[in-house]
């Protein structure tokens, strides 16, 4: 648990005014408290409950709280990772992409669904490769 049980209980109690909260069993309320207790700190727990109360009239599910905690919590380090620039395409790769795009455009003008056009483009790619 990242925050105290007592604090999680106090924040879940703020949800008592939402619709259907009163119909929850004790076990269901405990699950909401468990979900909220995974918040990395008290500030995020408060923001999660505030966010829910500002945008919803019905009580949340544990899944709703987990989702909001992920949304408001710290982001994984790899989100900030910089990736190298991709290598430039060769003339052959550019031509292949252009041919596939022409095939897709042609299928679209004929009124064919996009998935059909993509299938046809894949066939063209296989023909070129083999």
> How distant is the alpha carbon of residue 10 from its chain centre?
28
Instruction: Convert the pLDDT of each residue in 89-116 to its tens digit.
Output: 899 888 888 888 887 777 766 666 666 6
Residue with tokens 């998935």: 115
Q: Which long-range contacts (CB under 8 A, 24 or more apart) does 52-58 make?
A: 52/15, 52/18, 53/14, 53/15, 53/18, 56/18, 57/18, 57/19, 58/18, 58/19, 58/20
For 38-66, the DSSP string reads TSSSHHHHHHHHHHHHHH-SBPPPHHHHH
Mean pLDDT of the chain: 86
* pLDDT at 3 exceeding the cut of 50: yes
């Amino acid at each position: 648990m990242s925050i105290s049980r007592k604090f999680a209980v106090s924040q879940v109690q703020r949800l008592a005014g939402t619709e259907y909260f009163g119909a929850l069993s004790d076990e269901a309320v405990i699950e909401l408290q468990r979900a909220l207790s995974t918040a990395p700190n008290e500030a995020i727990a408060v923001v999660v409950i505030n966010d829910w109360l500002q945008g919803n009239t019905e009580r949340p599910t544990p899944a709703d709280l987990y989702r909001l905690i992920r949304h408001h919590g710290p982001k994984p380090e790899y989100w900030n990772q910089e990736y190298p620039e991709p290598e430039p395409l060769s003339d052959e790769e550019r031509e292949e992409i252009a041919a596939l795009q022409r095939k897709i455009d042609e299928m679209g003008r004929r009124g064919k669904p996009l998935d059909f056009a993509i299938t046809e483009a894949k066939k063209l790619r296989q023909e070129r490769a083999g």
